A and B are shown apart, each in its own frame.
Chain A
């Protein structure tokens, strides 16, 4: 890993650690992490999934908002490496999607979108797995050890950030907190649909627009999204 990347990894770690103290928005934290994995780890695409109260994995952050990536993520979260990683709490690596003999629907979707390899890392603290960090590559092959360690470290940091100092005894509060984050994502998806329709633009474009406005007006993405769907503001 070269020095620039190393410095970038450290900056990202600090940012994730920051969430331990500052007031934060889980959705923005994970969205930001998903976007930086391209630079940090050379991933073509990244998706972060969290499990809701019903145990279903939902997309909480993605490096790009294209429906193609979301589609692959959705399938992989139903039957594929993402759900397996979450269920087992272990990393799952698919160095070559083409040679997969299970998860045919996932294989086909990944192939269609041009992803050759997938690496899923659990978001886990001790016995609790809350989701997975998933890296997609356009080429076949394993991640090198340094990248794999970095990916797991980022997933761990993010998990600690989310869990904060909560103990496992407070698991019910944890699930409430995660559910809250997922509910925020629901509203963000609704806001994307709303703005995309009103402006006649794509869902990814709508997302960029909403996020740009959230940053300009210094408000959390989820708060702005809520205002959009409740028609308090017109975007």
Chain B
């Protein structure tokens, strides 16, 4: 896939900044058919793949809860969640490759776009400050995931309406005032929202202009 390069770089800041052993980012819980966008190593790749195959695991739960899901002692018998997923991971990986497994959702302007999972070889809680840092990095990653999702949906912005697009540009400007994003990203967000809601881009634009959608407010609701 031509965009595999930029997608792979999505994981790097997490690995570099958080001192975790591995990270994977997927579109689980997002607007796009769930798939892995990047995995920093083989283990992280397996963890994502197993969750995608089985439809269970911390990423799914994080997406459903719109919050962190911690499995601080993933390898211990005290962990009873996701039996199929844990079984699959145990089968494909060496015992104790993963001590702690953590997942949190990615969103931008209240629009869910995907999920990050982080693992550490040793078990134990992930501190609040690491989580804060992860969420900070997640804000940047969310834009990359949104971009990747929309790429998968196709380049065109599904606005085949022959009428002028002033309304879409005005709405883009409003999103720029609501979130710290570029014009391209603001438009992507409108497109993403349109896709997620099954609406036309123009209708979403009108909702933004008339104040029915405010991404700044919706952003506040996300973790």
Contact = CB atoms under 8 A, between A and B. Distances in A.
A216 to B, nearest CB: 21
B209 A77 contact: no
B209 A56 contact: no
Chain A contact surface mostly: helix
B165 interface: yes
Contacts of B170: 189-190, 192-193, 196, 203
A24 interface: no
A77 B163 CA distance: 6
A59 interface: yes
Interface in A32-73: 49, 56-59, 67, 70, 73
A83 B166 CA distance: 16
B57 to A, nearest CB: 39
Given A197-B178, A229-B183, A191 B173 contact: yes
Contacts of B171: 193
A194 B171 CA distance: 8
Interface in B138-185: 161-167, 169-178, 183
Interface in B161-220: 161-167, 169-178, 183, 209
Nearest to B168: A189
Given A56-B162, A203-B209, A189 B177 contact: no
A192 B176 CA distance: 11
A152 interface: no
A197 to B, nearest CB: 4
Given A77-B163, A197-B173, A190 B178 contact: no
Contacts of B177: 193-195, 197-198
Contacts of A56: 162, 164-165
B166 A59 contact: yes
A75 interface: yes
Given A198-B177, A229-B183, A193 B164 contact: no
B162 A189 contact: no
Contacts of B165: 56, 58, 186
B169 A193 contact: yes
A74 B174 contact: no
A78 interface: yes
